[in-house]
Amino acid sequence: MLESFALSIVDGSLNRWIVETYWLWPVLEIVHFVGLSLLLGGLIIIDLRLAGLFRSMRPTATHKLVPLVLIGFGLNLVTGILFFYGDPLRYSVNIGFQIKMVLVVLAGLNTLFYYRKIKPVMHSWGTNADTPPVAKIVAITSLSAWGGVLLFGRLIPYVGTG
């Protein structure tokens, strides 16, 4: 399925623009890195607080970091799509890319669980109180999934296909 989509966009106008604009790929790499820094920088603090660390910080204070995380995710989403369009045949069969996308979906599902089950009750947690076990599981899942996204994203140029 992914390969057939990749074949359909090869030599399309967006693919040609990305391939033929010599400065574009490096700029996309820089923007992707900045997005990743915002995304992971905010999530590390949020998740470590959820895991029970930084107890002097109110759990709800981490909500102030969410806009930075969302901006980082948005930057990575846009640049990631452009990377795929720029070299669809390589990405569509790359095992590192495929694992990275599975981890992004896992992280997204974990985030949905957080918003439905954890965030609504965070206001009742005391500042110095430990977090419930379910919050710790969400935090560890998030840190693991996004750490894997970082790792497998970095491995894309170096791992084989399929």
Q: Tell me the pLDDT tens digit for each residue of 1-23.
A: 778 888 888 989 999 999 999 99
Mean pLDDT computed over 79-104: 94
Check if the beta carbon of residue 159 is closer than 8 Å to that of residue 96. Answer: yes
Predicted structure pTM score: 0.89
Q: Is the pLDDT of residue 162 over 60?
A: no
- CA 133 remoteness from chain centre: 24
Residue 161 is predicted with a pLDDT of: 66
pLDDT in tens, 109-149: 999 999 999 988 888 887 787 889 999 999 999 999 999 99
